[in-house]
Amino acid sequence: MQIARTDFVGVPSRDGERSRQFYGDVLGLRPDEHSRFEFWAGDTCLAIYEPERFGGEFALQKNAHIAFGVDDVEEARAELEAKGVEFGGETWDSGVCHTAAFTDPDGSDLMLHRRYAPCANGSTR
């Protein structure tokens, strides 16, 4: 077996319509033309689902951030703050990247990310 790709990342929600508005209108992700609750960040599909509708339990996604790559973290952060998004602290500089953490309306962790220096393997992604 060889895994070829990530087909989607599940985004749990208690209110799919609220999440749909957040990921589409607030974050500006491209909606999937075939699915009301799927959005694209580059080549990655985010699939919003309500676990409780399928007999599961809702659980926040904590400490496993979806890291949205942006050209300028401070600029993207300012745009989101103008739309009412609250960030959990200051923008952080790790020495190779800038990050700014926030949450979606259900409280799941998200992050803006921009690598500005190569990592150990030389990659800037």
Q: What is residue 122's predicted lDDT score, i.e. its pLDDT? A: 62
pLDDT tens digit string along 7-30?
A: 999 999 999 999 999 999 999 999
34 and 71 Cβ atoms separated by less than 8 Å: no
Give me the residue spans of the domains in the chain. Answer: 9-115
Pairing of strands 66-69, 109-115: parallel
**Distance, CA of 58 to CA of 13 (rounded, Å):** 7
Segment among 58-62, 69-73, 100-104 with least mean pLDDT: 58-62
* CATH architecture of the domain formed by 9-115: Roll (3.10)
Confidence bin at 121 (pLDDT 50/70/90):
low
Q: How would residue 72 be classed by pLDDT, with cut points 50, 70 and 90?
A: very high
Query: Under 8 Å CB-to-CB from 39, ≥6 apart: which residues?
Result: 23, 24, 27, 29, 30, 31, 32, 45, 46, 48
Answer whether 0.95 is exceeded by the pTM.
Answer: no
Average pLDDT, the chain: 94
Q: How confident is the model at residue 60 (pLDDT cuts 50, 70, 90)?
A: confident
